[in-house]
Amino acid sequence: MNFIALKMLTGDRAKYLGLIFAVAFCTFLLENQTSIFAGILNRTGSQILDVTDADVWVMDAKTEYFEQTKALKDTDLTRVRGVDGVEWAVNLFKATPVARTRAGKFASCILLGLDDATLAGAPRKMLLGSWERLREPDSVVIDKVGYILLFPDEPLELGRELEMNDHRVTIVGMSDASAPFLSFPVVHARYSEAVTFVGRERTQLAYVLVRPQPGISAEQISQRIDAQTGLRARTTDEFRWDCIRYYLKNTGIPVNFGITITIALIVGTVVAGQTFYLFTIENLKQFGALKAIGVTNWRLIGMVLLQAFTVGVMGFSLGTGMAAAFFEMTLRLIATRGLILMWQNVVLTDGCILLVVVIASLLSIRRVVVLEAATVFRG
């Protein structure tokens, strides 16, 4: 019976391929859009994840996400260091000055000022140069993509100069910083120099990076800092999720992607369901003949489900392959770098496609079950 079911399925090649491509298109859209959505949200905390030295971020009590900073007092750093269980705490400066090349090309950049003594808070992976060269006067490290944006079609090399708010600086290193939410160059400098690039203000300390002593968890030290200083302390993971929740709540990103994902589900369900239903209607005589020779309803239901799941598996595999090929082709482009096909999205899409297949099957199964065997002998 299974062989007969598959022969019925593949008998009309046009409808058979149409079913597969309907499911494949639905799969591709779901995996593509959900992976891009997750990747963009992950970018909101990319500079947080780049800091591997510290486990806790300390900020003003009203700060909600990374881009929103209210400067702390310099004495707040000392207060955090005085909390029991803190192994070390260092300052981190953040600003968005404009960087300009000699050729006149300019761009707003994310400037991060690292602790002068330890350089803690820098991404570990360097492509050219070294972090130690930041100790040279008027020096910065820029990420590779930022370099390409400022020096398009030019070779990667150190020693080039940038003007940053009337300060001339030299590029002494090139990092592999994670892609930020906005396509700004990511520039690192020493704290003492970074503050001069944007002009002196009364308070300029954006964050305090903290590592707890061995045996004390990041959550424990966060609670102690909250209680003793009145500042807001968040673990790296908590702060990253704060950023994601902020963008989900205050931007149109989830609505835009949600509409596309919903349309993909509706189109996949309607097209696949209707095509499979019409396929079943056209084969009612064959199902009636099988009923007439004694095949039970349960066996016929099994045949319909086999046909539906065969189409589902082939369409899902084809769609996943298309999505994987898309991300492989766009992985190294500047705008889409770091966006990948996540296994969680593949699993989620698998569940959605299973739902589509079940709905399409139910529409067809009902006609088969209520079919009278005598139908095949009429007319």
More confident residue, 211 or 11: 211
Tell me the whole-structure pTM to 2 decimals: 0.80
| Residue type present at position 273 | G
- DSSP assignment of 92-129 equals EEEE-PEEE-TTS-EEE-EEEEEPTTT-TT--S-EEEE
Amino acid of residue 212: P
Mean per-residue pLDDT for 291-311?
Answer: 78
Question: How does strand 186-190 pair with strand 232-235?
Answer: unpaired
At 228 the pLDDT is: 92
| Tokens found for residue 167 | 């300060």
pLDDT above 60: residue 211: yes
| Whole-number Å distance between alpha carbons of 363 and 42 | 39
pLDDT at 209 over 90: yes
pLDDT for position 153: 85
pLDDT at 375: 59
352 with 265: CB under 8 angstroms?
Answer: yes
Q: What is d(CA 313, CA 316) in angstroms, rounded to the nearest whole number?
A: 5
Token match 């308070």: residue? Answer: 203
The predicted-structure confidence for 252-300, as pLDDT tens digits, reads as follows: 888 888 888 788 777 767 777 777 777 777 777 777 777 777 777 777 7
**In angstroms, rounded to a whole number, what is the distance separating the alpha carbons of residues 66 and 62?**
12
Overall average pLDDT of the 179-208 stretch: 84
CB atoms inside a 10 Å sphere around CB 256:
12
Dump the DSSP string for 213-258. Answer: PTT--HHHHHHHHHHHH-SEEEEHHHHHHHHHHHHHHHSSHHHHHH
pLDDT digits (tens, 9 = 90+) for 121-140: 888 788 999 899 999 999 99
Q: What percent of the chain has pLDDT over 90?
A: 35
| Residue 378 reports pLDDT greater than 70 | no
Under the banding of pLDDT at 50, 70 and 90, the label for residue 27 is: confident
pLDDT value, residue 8: 66
- Please, which pLDDT band fits residue 372 given cuts at 50, 70 and 90? low
Q: If DSSP codes are grouped into helix, strand and coil, which group holds residue 72?
A: strand
Summary mean pLDDT of the chain: 85
The predicted pLDDT at position 237 comes to 93
Please state, as a whole number, how many other Cβ atoms lie within 10 Å of the Cβ of residue 56.
26
Would strands 232-235 and 56-59 be described as parallel, antiparallel, or unpaired?
Answer: antiparallel
The CA-atom distances, in angstroms, between 348 and each of 31, 351, 369 are: 8, 5, 31
Give the span between the Cα atoms of 222 and 309, in whole angstroms. Answer: 50
Q: Mean pLDDT over residues 35-47, rounded?
A: 89
pLDDT at 50 over 80: yes
Phi, psi dihedral angles at 15 (to 5 degrees): -70, -35
pLDDT at 356 over 60: yes
Beta strand 98-100 with 126-129 is unpaired
Whole-angstrom Cα distance, residue 204 to residue 186? 19
Determine the pLDDT at residue 309. Answer: 83
Over residues 94-100, the mean pLDDT reads 90
Among 116, 115, 118, 89, which residue's Cα sits nearest to residue 212? 89
CA angle 256, 327, 106 (to 5 degrees): 75
Q: Compare 8 and 324 and report the one with higher pLDDT.
A: 324
For residue 112, the model assigns a pLDDT of 93
Query: Helix 284-292 and helix 343-370: axis angle, to 10°?
Result: 60
**pLDDT of residue 56 exceeding 70:** yes
pLDDT tens digits for range 320-336: 999 999 999 988 887 78
Integer Cα distance of 317 and 168 in angstroms: 54
Q: Does position 379 have pLDDT exceeding 60, yes or no?
A: no
Mean pLDDT of 31-44: 88
Q: Which pLDDT score, from 0 to 100, does residue 330 have?
A: 87
- How many of the other CB atoms lie within 10 Å of CB of 55? 20
Q: pLDDT band at residue 371, thresholds of 50, 70 and 90?
A: low
Q: How many CB atoms lie within 10 A of CB 74?
A: 12
Determine the pLDDT at residue 377: 58
Please tell me what DSSP assigns to residue 71.
P
Count H helices and E strands in the chain, helices first: 12, 12
**Candidate from 157-171, 298-312, 339-353 with smallest mean pLDDT:** 298-312
The closest alpha carbon to 92, from 8, 22, 189, belongs to: 189
Query: With bands split at pLDDT 50, 70 and 90, how would you rate the model's confidence at 158?
Result: very high
Could you tell me what percent of the chain has a pLDDT over 70? 92
Average pLDDT over every residue of 90-104: 90
